[in-house]
Structure 1
């Protein structure tokens, strides 16, 4: 541990806290069946009301056949034993719904029918729950269906012999607006849903990493407790075996057994002493540590042997050193930053610590090539890494670190400063352990 003068005036602005992640919406077969029954009821009511209540002349029987096809397919789904939808099955059902809706629109005026906008519905559902490939296929199908009913359709239902025939230019305008809306909605909704799914998966990885860290801490605490509880009986065994050795003659056949008993009890005591000093043991004496000691514990063994690690305390620190509660979030989050720095460093990694009565800063700095401009702009987002997909890297290390540190009040920022540097800032009141825990 060393002191070093370090300039903190050029620290960058910190990003806002990450928003709460919302889990992506899935669609079960039961939900899809319910939505399709709503569609059947809506289509049936619309056709009957327009024909009988408003007196518009339309091809009622072909329309009822199209609606009946949707109802029949829904009954077949209800009889299915598989209650979850695979992507292929969901895409097939949405394609069927799209074609059924297009046929109904073709029977009632084509794109002149105001309900032609409903062609957006299956594509939007696909963009929400299906892959890019499936959504692209359904989008193409919707555009082709819209193109077909533009030129091949029955007349728009109207009273008497008046009729309504829109100009071709206007029809092409409607087609352009509808197809652009289909493409835009599919792209926009799929992108938003995919970001939500990726963020949800990344947060699940963060939760899993935190759970693993807590399990290790709990295991260390259990080892320390076992060492403490077994210390007394083993000490008794050692005393008794020593007395037996002094009383049993060396030529006695029992002497070797007594000697073995004593050597094994001594070995057990050595093992328990080692367990009681494991770094993951979280007994009360080490639950709260000085910040510098906790930082040293967090980054220990995260930097490769060929890279020199220096932990430095800034000379301009103000006030007493913070006493910080040992948490899995702190250990795993700062450890991830140190590990990332160690993998890119040429020869050295510096951990710099600075505190005032109000703030605490920790800098993880390496002498490597630094962050590329494209990565720096989005660093901290899930699945963002120059090594994502290589050798098992998922691009989640920095995201997990920032997420875990944020849980204990830390804000992370990144910059290039003769190498890559990760900065973590806390309000001291959020990081420092309450006074009563230090008693």
Structure 2
């Protein structure tokens, strides 16, 4: 079943399955009770009519089974109609077996309890009115029970008490089992709704981040262009051309300035200014090697360990989001542990596992519980805590998962697990998520 379907529809569909199970139990119980009373106790019952009602319940249940597998939604009104069918069948059985004098009339309360858990207020009160009218009607309209010859009122009263006890046991057991299961379904629905609300809030954060990044990129374009012109003039000025040391520094400045301009361009591309240019067909090993080489050459870590891709190579579709996702996790590890960063990439054939380890102080318990939530960081500066949040959103968009833990020997480890199918076929990244990975 699709986890992204309407949570109310999922809960209603599961509750319909519970009603179907309950109806199978009711049909079997009715057959057993009818035969026991008719054959064992010798009380003459209209077997043809009562068994016809059971057959009707079986047909309705088969139709409900088909309905539960139908792709359309299951509404609360549909559950209300299902309960009305059960009330109608119970009323017919009671009419044929003594009416209101039948001790099993208290099974109406079972229907009301189920309605109280499953239905909205108007439907519950409608069920109260309908069952009350049925009770009143059975007080005046019924088929009298024919007791065996020689049995008097004492035997009828004893039979009535025994029936009440059986009715109590049946109702209590069914309520304990099925209402508990219905409550679990409703709690699962509430959990799914809370997850959707959380995801909506995170998407809103990403939209704001994208707008901020796009605006900042536009603002930075002019001063970067001005600095490029000034730096080019310096490189041709007589005061600098004769100084090799100064020329080397100017070259380094030009390299860093070009990198800043590339970052600004990537932000604009990711925020929708130039769409469709980031995706590229390549091989997994080439993408990993290029990304790792670019990060290592630009950051120059003191000790960086990477043994290459483990497992088989394969063609993939990459874009800027994947590259920046890896950059963000590596940058966080380098900041926490400048003395050691280790990267491990493994292709299991079904999933791509990217694991980044460091020798830093590790994550606090609060950080591990809030993994992937925005603005949760130990760095204590404005805007921090967005790195893993954005990484988490990209991983989720790709259908993967993000895990983090503290290593026994010290330091932390962040693991990103992505399905290879998402990389092979180029999943449609959410435009509010794709590429907005620059930041802390």
Point out the structure with the larger helix share. Answer: 2
Would you say same fold, with TM above 0.5? no
Q: TM-score, normalised by structure 2?
A: 0.41
Larger RCO (CA within 8 A; separation ≥ 6):
1
Q: TM-score, normalised by structure 1?
A: 0.41
